[in-house]
Amino acid sequence: MSSEVKPDPGFQPFVPASEAPPELTWPTVLTGVLLGIVFGASSLYLVLKVGLTVSASVPIAVLSITLFRVFSNAFKVRKTTILENNIVQTTGSAGESIAFGVGVTMPALLLLGFEMDPVRVMTVSVLGAVLGILMMIPLRRAFIVKQHGKLIYPEGTACAEVLVAGEKGGATAKMVFVGFGIALAHKFLTAATKLWAAEPATNLYTESAAGGAKVGLKGGAVSGELSPELLGVGYLIGPRIAALMTAGAVLSYFVLGPLIATFGEKLTEPVPPAVWDMEKPRDESNPGLIRNMDPEDIRKAYLRYIGAGAVAAGGIVSMFRALPLILGSVVGGLRDLRASRGGGGGAAARTERDMPAPVVLWGGLALVVALAAVPQLGLGLTPYGLLGAGLILLFGFLFVTVSSRLTGEVGSSSNPISGMTIATLLMVCVIFLVLGRTDTGAMLTVLMIAAVVCIAASNGGTTSQDLKTGYLVGATPSKQQWAILIGAVTSALVIGLTMLALNAAKVHYTKKGIPAAVVLPVPPDAPQERPGRPYNAGELLDATAYYVVHARAGEHEGLKPGRYLVTADGRPVYRTDVPISQELKQMDNGADAPEPFSAPTPRLFANIIQGILGGTLEWSLFIAGALIAIALELCGVSALPVAVGMYLPLGSSTPIFAGGMLRLAADRLRGKPKNEADAETSPGVLLASGYIAGGTLCGLVVAFFAFLPNGFNQLLNLGLHLFGELNDQGQKVWKPDEVAGAKIAAVVVFGALGAFLLWVGSRKEKSAA
């Protein structure tokens, strides 16, 4: 191991320790809480759509500087100090990291056949977030102080430079607000009024004009979810990651998919995991046959399993690549902790005061006991429950340490939290397998352990980033730590509620695909539910109270695993089509189904747990994807972003690629930035941040329209009123994704969004920011 890095004796923060300007004040904490909730909710929506989030610290810092500057000028009150603006970004930054942990773990409950119970979601969200902060606090001196000059913390350093620039009169949020307004309007016109297509697509395999022969790429299609938030994501992650994701999409949808379609053309039996549609006779028209599948069917039946294997392997490889750093982080962190305890006595300077050690120690232990005591988490005060609590402590501290160190090395955006969670899942699954615990209760326990570790590691990395910012500007660590605790608890509560509400708003019931002869056992404590509002856009399906029963993979022949509403004698009447694994594009009444979520990680986690403990994993496809990832790594290519592109629908990768290419063009036209802060606060970056915030928040609002009466949604549907046509049943319908004119309009409007982003991003005037 390398020798210990001593703190720089010549380092002086922007605000010296001898000064004590206002810092932890109620206006700044409340502002940080509100901004944290806004960015947390929008990050949750984004991670459910594409499995990605972007760091919120710099946009929140810029917004804080601008909002308080406007308030100060308008009401002639004192100017907000740099330390107060730092408290705002510290409080608000917790929302984004918690949203990632919640978004990639909690939906897996539905895939494993459990309810996304409010107690489960809220407990894991709040306690996991707080645990990550408490575990990071003892590491502050080890990583932030003693490793200053070695661990860069790129986003934290950039945020400090933004705060210093704001103190000197720079850094305004004009472009954030402009982007927010444009994206809000675009998303509303697309999703609520449906004036143009949301995701135009065209098949690459059609009949030729002469002779009716099929020409083109069999099983291939081009599509794009032309939304401002995905365009903004592509701009922020940059051309390299965007190109790697698109390479994965090309491999999956233009190579593997067409190969499956070509070689499956002559088959007369379905190839697992595809199955016969039980509603239709066993003949040539059955969609279980590859020849009858469209590109989306091929993705759902085969490509998503290959992509999941690639994502798992990419995450594990990233962990092994960082293994020397991980071991060094743990050993060095423990060594520095011992050294800090043995430090000299006397009162610590303001810039060296952490939260009291007893609060950190006993608070962390109390959180783990609380996690074990909540029965909905599958732990409990039993031998297995105590084992689970011990594993949370072990893996939690391990990966909070790893996350905090890796954040200092490569930044938050490249921190492999998913890989750490996969490693936790694998190790805990193996432990339970050795102990003979393979029942469904064990699956719940494994997922809850991994979820807490995931959220703790994610929030631990964010906490270290914020403490680095505070170290550079001269903040009081204890006040920052209280601020991020407040932000974590408030954001976690809202994010948990948002997760539940989004799921409820996008769920719909269907009678399709339910064999008549199947009978499910009804547990004595099965909850009851009526399939009415707010599902199916307020349409009352049935006033009967049915029992909720979960059917798991392989338990009933011909019955898809999932959540069912059954009669008292166990006869399934409705299947719940949940957004994380939605199979139907249309509801039973012929209307379009709610927009699904396509994030890869929850399904991957569910596949790992079921594969090891339940033996239901599609191993051949999963291993094929893993080998593709290994081949990429052997070629010197980072496999994880390519794997994500393989798993996500092609429509999600297309606008991200467009944003990355716009960033490439804008940076070349604008010239190389002077420093990290200049890059993070360039006009294009701020506009892209506004695109993300406006598009995702409007997407949330439109999703919640499902709770309103159906007439309200019909009133907003201007496309239906202006362009709708009567169908065979005499109903007026409008499906913009299938109308050529609506597709062209979507491309034109999206092109205008991109052109404006390129124009703003390529300008060299600092005043444009």
Q: Tokens 């459910």 label which residue?
A: 48
Half-sphere exposure of 408 (CA within 13 A, CB side): 28
Which structure tokens are listed for 484? 């991020």
Question: In the chain, what's the furthest Cα-to-Cα distance?
Answer: 91
Query: 223 - beta bridge partners?
Result: 201
Q: Tokens 């007893």 label which residue?
A: 358
**Phi/psi at 140 (nearest 5 deg)?**
-60, -50
Return the domain boundaries, the chain: 26-172+329-506, 508-577
pTM for this entry? 0.77
For 623-658, write each residue's pLDDT tens digit: 899 899 999 999 988 887 888 788 778 888 899 899
Query: 566 - beta bridge partners?
Result: 547, 572
Taking the C-alpha atoms of residue 235 and residue 230, their distance in angstroms, rounded to an integer, is: 9
Residue 428, phi-psi category: left (phi > 0), alpha (psi -120 to 50), beta (remainder): alpha
Q: Is 511 helix (H, G, I), strand (E, B) or coil?
A: coil
- In this prediction, residue 343 carries a pLDDT of 47
Contact in structure between 290 and 261 (CB atoms under 8 Å): yes
Taking the C-alpha atoms of residue 234 and residue 641, their distance in angstroms, rounded to an integer, is: 12
Q: Tokens 């948002």 label which residue?
A: 498
Peptide bond into 531 cis (omega under 30): no
- Return the beta strands (E) in 439-490 as ranges: none
Q: Please report which residue ranges of 193-322 form alpha helices under DSSP H.
A: 228-251, 257-263, 295-298, 304-321
Taking the C-alpha atoms of residue 566 and residue 611, their distance in angstroms, rounded to an integer, is: 27
List of the chain residues with pLDDT < 70: 1-10, 50, 52, 54, 170-173, 207-214, 275-287, 318-319, 322-348, 380-381, 409-416, 532-541, 553-555, 557-558, 598-600, 616-617, 674-681, 706-711, 728-730, 765-769
Query: 574 - beta bridge partners?
Result: 565
For 410-424, write each residue's pLDDT tens digit: 566 656 677 778 778
- In this prediction, residue 680 carries a pLDDT of 65
Taking the C-alpha atoms of residue 269 and residue 84, their distance in angstroms, rounded to an integer, is: 66
Taking the C-alpha atoms of residue 453 and residue 337, their distance in angstroms, rounded to an integer, is: 21
Contact in structure between 271 and 290 (CB atoms under 8 Å): yes
Contact in structure between 510 and 574 (CB atoms under 8 Å): yes
Q: Is 106 helix (H, G, I), strand (E, B) or coil?
A: coil
Q: Is 528 helix (H, G, I), strand (E, B) or coil?
A: strand
- In this prediction, residue 339 carries a pLDDT of 56
Buried b (16+ CB within 10 A) or exposed e, 293-327: bebbbbbbbbbbbbbbbbbbbbbbbbbeebeeebe
- Hey, what amino acid is at 582? Q
Q: Is 600 exposed, middle or buried (0-12, 13-18, 19+ CB in 10 A)?
A: buried
